[in-house]
Amino acid sequence: MSEPVLRVERAYKRFGGLLAVDNVSLAVEAGRITALIGPNGAGKTTLFSIISGFLPASEGRVFHRGADITGMPPHLVARRGIVRTFQIVQPFAGLTVHENIAIGAHLSRRSRADALDAAAEVASTVGLGDLLGRPAASLTVAGRKRLEVARALAAEPKLLLLDEVLAGLNPAEVATMVPIIRGIADSGVTILMIEHVMQAVMSLAGHVFVLAEGRIIAEGAPQVVVDNPRVVEAYLGDGAAARLSAAGGAHV
Amino acid sequence: MLSPVILVPAILNGLLTGAVYGLVALGLTLIYGVLHIINFAHGALLTAAMFAAFFAHRLLALDPYLAAIVLTPLFFALGYCLQRFVIGPAAHGEDRNILLVTLGLAVVIENLLLYAFGADTRTLNLDYAFDIVDLGIAFLALPRVIGFGVVLVVALVLWLILSLTDTGKAIRAVAKEKLGAELSGIDVGHIYAVTFGLGTACLAIAACLLIPTYYVNPHVGNAFVLIAFTIVVLGGMGSVALVGGLFIGVVESLCGLYLGESLGQIGIFVMFILVLLFRPSGLFGERA
Amino acid sequence: MRGPSIAHIVLVIAVLATVPLLTASNAVLNFLIVALLIALVGQGWNVLGGYGGQYSFGHAAFFGTGAYVTAILQMRYGINAWPAFALGIASGALVGAAIGALTFRSGLKGSYFALVTLAFAEVLRILASVAPITGAGVGILITLDLRPQAFQFQSRAPFYWIVLALLAASLVIVRLIEQSRFGAWLVAVRENEDAAKAVGVDTVRVKLVAMTISAAITAAGGGFYVQYFLYIDSGIAYGPWISIEALLAPIVGGIGTVFGPLIGAVVVKTLGELTKLITGDAPGLDLVIYGGVLVLIVAFAPHGITSLLAALRIRFARLRPSASEGTHV
């Protein structure tokens, strides 16, 4: 078994009295789409922030291709090829779509012209090709989510951390995004995604981790995880699994 | 150099000065705690209040302690109007703009005073300015002792306002959770203006307390406000702001004792810079 | 990034260079020299504030250092004015790097950054007002020596061309920044630091470099000031007046643009002159006007005059069938 691209080892994160991440260990295999799901407030985004260097872990280690990157500053994590998106989108509001994506492209390109060219290409792969000259602030929610992905993509990550890129999108918009994400994975990028939209998780993810109250409560193939009674209870409350199977076994 | 005969009066005088620092800081932290802005115009407003107190005596023969009764509501209104009609609208809610607008106001007020009254330093010569309170180990200037007492009263009154009145509760609500307060029907713009007015009113009182023993010129407010800024940055709110003021008053008194006036001033600035650089992390983000 | 090309810059400079050939009026030349000087200092502020989004309220720290070092090296160490001037710029850059290193590593931003820069400038002012090397309360007078070798001239025209050349250099530097990766990173830091970090931008280092360049340009203004006026003291060198004018010019003219500080400096200085004409030379009045202008600009035209002009251009463009322009950066 080769070294996983990303390995989190016994991570804890305390905010004062609150334990947001509680003894989390997980591994992400190369070339796959791995999903991180769980109810709101479970600690998923906190975990992303720890992995990408935006927050220090209270305890625990993060390994990237075997190298210890715990506590590495975010820009150095990004330069190692790990790029994250933000749950609440963070565009460069005063710049155009083109300029936004180009900043991502500048990670590996020095010349302005090269970065702008690469950005234009990435823009068309996510369907923003017609909107290059628009101010980022003028995009719809769906557009901004795509911009977020495009900018991360332009930085040519080997590991992409997507934080709820489908949140707030209507079913048609979700249906457009899912193949884009699959396309990214097909091109060789490992993806770790936090997601609530279950149909996307089912169709995209090869492996799923479930986080509830800061702890990993289940992991495995999507179909298996979703049927796990503990997972059902984490979302729907105690006893829900029993009630559901008594009522005829409805799925989450 | 460390004999109690020198130290104790220095410390006590430091406490008395520090009380006024605390009052100035109280006004600033009130504004900061509710509007989440650093009011760059605080110093200029204090200077304006001191000029007002000065001329209240010069032209109207109003004793500063009496002038406070008139100036406090006047400056409350001034602060209210500034926030409601100038700062709030001009800034469009953007932090960077608020910075510039309060700076612009500071420049306008300070230089208006300079233009109107010249750069000369003036003092009031009041009969009781040199009256002494004899504590045995130290002689303390009467006006400063009065000042200490008034500050404690003002702090108490402010606390009562904030805890017991509806407006006070609204202020605390807005400070904690602006959106929620708005949704509950609180007029946030009005509350911001009231808070700014209260902060400015504190300055009016502080000015009246200072003017018997302190000089006034167009730049006098800045030194006091710098101390207030230091306290804000240290995270002092409410009673902590007062205690912070007392502490810094003592430190300044001791520094002035050993380093002389100019270097004493530098000491405050250096302390301010150090506090900014090494402040407890995690308490303050980008938003001022 | 959209902006004037180097050719545009050369054109504007060339036109401005003809002014001393068209007029011999000392009043006009003096006015323009001061305006160009403020434009230079403002351009320095613009690099850090306009492009980098870090608003310094204490740029006097760099102006004054450039001025004092230039003066002290000449008067106390007998060094020739030109290398003294160069060392003045270098010293200003060093002070900028030092302050930047301290403040950016501490993560100071927004109002806190503005406060700390203000504090640094004040500390320098107080130090300069008591230190013997800066002449304490008396200041430093540069001995009259009207030869080009001493960076002094008999007439104003050479001074005009020199400050114009310095300004031209600053315009070119800013344009080059606009077109470089560093410039893209700098603007990213201004717009959203976290997002910038997430795509590999070393935000602390970018800010530090911007601060150093900004300080160097502003220090050049200080050095020029002292050669032109032949006198400096702590209030002139490190006083709030220059910190205010340094930020006012770019904000009025167009923050984050190449020509913004130039336009703003001319407008602000013209306002100052008009004020003096109407009310006489009262101390403080010009700053009252400047403070008022600052509030008005922020309220009604936060991106300055150039953005108003751009908006007008868009209005006219809409009247024609061709496509409208994008926003300016």
Position of tokens 């959209």?
C2
> Which of A83, A91, A95 comes nearest C199 by C-beta?
A83
Residue C96, domain extent: 6-328
Quote the longest CA-to-CA distance of chain B: 61
The 3-class SS string of B179-191 reads HHHHHCCCCHHHH
For B122, list phi and psi in degrees, rounded to 5. Answer: -125, 155
A115–chain C Cβ distance below 8 A for any pair: yes
- C186 with C51: CB under 8 angstroms? yes
Is position C1 within any domain?
no
Residue C102 forms contact with B (CB below 8 Å)? yes
CA distance to partner chain C, nearest, from residue B101 (Å): 5
| pLDDT tens digit sequence for C200-223 | 999 999 999 999 999 999 999 999
Q: Are B143 and B129 in contact (CB under 8 A)?
A: yes
**Residue ranges in chain B assigned as alpha helix (H):** 4-35, 42-60, 64-81, 88-91, 95-117, 142-164, 166-176, 178-183, 188-210, 220-233, 239-259, 261-278
The candidate with the shortest Cα–Cα distance to C164, out of C268, C272, C62, C15, is: C15
Nearest-neighbour CA in chain B from C110: distance (Å): 6
Residue whose C-alpha is closest to residue A233's, from A220, A218, A221: A218
Does C153 map to a domain? yes
Closest-CA distance, C14 to chain B, in angstroms, reads 34
Q: Closest Cα partner for A117 from A101, A128, A133? A: A101
When pLDDT is cut at 50, 70 and 90, the band that residue A122 belongs to is very high
Lowest mean pLDDT among B67-76, C239-248, C307-316: C307-316
More confident residue, C158 or A232: C158
Q: Is residue C208 part of a domain?
A: yes
Predicted confidence at residue A153, as pLDDT, reads 95
pLDDT over 70 at A233, yes or no = yes
What number is the ipTM of this complex?
A: 0.91
Q: Do C115 and B91 touch (CB under 8 A)?
A: no
**For residue C324, is pLDDT > 90?**
no
User: Which residue of chain C is at minimal alpha-carbon distance from A131?
Assistant: C326
Of B40, B95, B226, the CB nearest to C110: B95
The pLDDT assigned to B284 comes to: 42
pLDDT at residue A91 is higher than 70: yes
Residue B238's pLDDT is what? 64
Closest residue to C327, CB basis, from A54, A73, A135: A135
Contacts of B102 in chain C (CB under 8 A): none
Q: What is the pLDDT of residues C89-116, one digit of tens each?
A: 999 999 999 999 999 998 888 888 998 9
Angle formed by the axes of helices B239-259 and B220-233, to 10°? 120
pLDDT grade, residue C325 (50/70/90)? very low
State mean pLDDT over C116-130.
Answer: 92
Q: Is A31 helix (H, G, I), strand (E, B) or coil?
A: coil
* Beta carbons of C327 and A96 less than 8 Å apart: yes
Neighbors of chain B with 3 or more C-beta pairs under 8 Å? C
Tens of pLDDT, residues B241-251:
778 788 777 87
Alpha-carbon distance of C29 to C19, in angstroms, equals: 8
User: CA B28: distance to chain centroid?
Assistant: 6
> What pLDDT score was predicted for residue B10?
83
In C, minimum Cα distance to A116 occurs at C1
C224 close to C67: Cβ distance less than 8 angstroms? no
Q: Residue B1: its pLDDT value, please?
A: 58
The pLDDT score that the predictor gives to residue B143 is 83
Average confidence (pLDDT) over A161-176: 91
- Residue B138 has a pLDDT of 77
Tens digit of each residue's pLDDT (9 = 90 or more) over B198-256: 999 999 999 999 888 888 999 888 877 887 888 777 766 666 777 878 877 787 777 77
Pairing of strands A67-68, A82-84: unpaired
Contacting partners of chain A (3+ CB pairs under 8 A): C
Asked if the Cβ–Cβ distance from A135 to C192 is below 8 Å, we say no
What's the whole-number mean pLDDT along residues C66-80? 95
Q: Is A109 on the interface with C (CB under 8 A)?
A: yes
Beta bridge partners of A216: A211
pLDDT the model gives residue B246: 82
Position C38 confidence tier, pLDDT thresholds 50, 70, 90:
very high
- The CATH number of whichever domain residue C297 belongs to comes to 1.10.3470
Task: Tell me the C-alpha distance between A40 and A29, whole Å.
Answer: 25
pLDDT for B282:
34
3-state secondary structure chain C: CCCCCHHHHHHHHHHHHCHHHHCCCHHHHHHHHHHHHHHHHHHHHHHHHHHCCCCCCCCHHHHHHHHHHHHHHHHHHCCCHHHHHHHHHHHHHHHHHHHHHHHHHCCCCHHHHHHHHHHHHHHHHHHHHHCHHHCCCCCEECCCCCCHHHCCCCCHHHHHHHHHHHHHHHHHHHHHHHCCHHHHHHHHHHHCHHHHHHCCCCHHHHHHHHHHHHHHHHHHHHHHHHHHHCEECHHHHHCHHHHHHHHHHHHHHCCCCCCHHHHHHHHHHHHHHHHHHHHCCCCCHHHHHHHHHHHHHHHHCCCHHHHHHHHHHHHHHHHCCCCCCCCCC
Confidence grade of residue C307 (pLDDT, cut at 50, 70, 90):
confident
Q: Between the CA of residue B168 and those of B111, B161, B173, B237, B243, what are the distances in Å?
A: 34, 5, 9, 15, 22
User: Given a contact as 3+ CB pairs under 8 Å, which chains touch C?
Assistant: A, B
Least confident window among B232-241, C81-90, C264-273: B232-241
Residues in chain B with pLDDT < 70?
A: 1, 235-239, 259-264, 280-288
C-alpha distances in angstroms, A219 versus A46, B124, B260?
Answer: 19, 78, 69
One-letter amino acid of B234: L
pLDDT at B119: 87
The total number of structural domains that make up chain C: 1
Range of lowest pLDDT (A74-88, A154-168, B3-17, C2-16)? B3-17
Interface list for B 125-184 with C (CB within 8 A): none
Interface membership of B283 toward C (CB under 8 Å): no
Interface test with C, best of B42, B269, B283, B284 (most C CBs within 10 A): B269
Q: Taking CA atoms, what residue in C is nearest to A84?
A: C198
- Please state, as a whole number, how many other Cβ atoms lie within 10 Å of the Cβ of residue C29: 18
pLDDT the model gives residue C326: 45
Nearest residue on chain C to B98, judged by CA atoms? C298
Res A209 pLDDT > 90: yes
Least CA distance to C191: which residue of chain A? A92
Determine the pLDDT at residue B220: 87
CB contact under 8 A, A78 and C198: yes
| Three-state DSSP state, B11 | helix
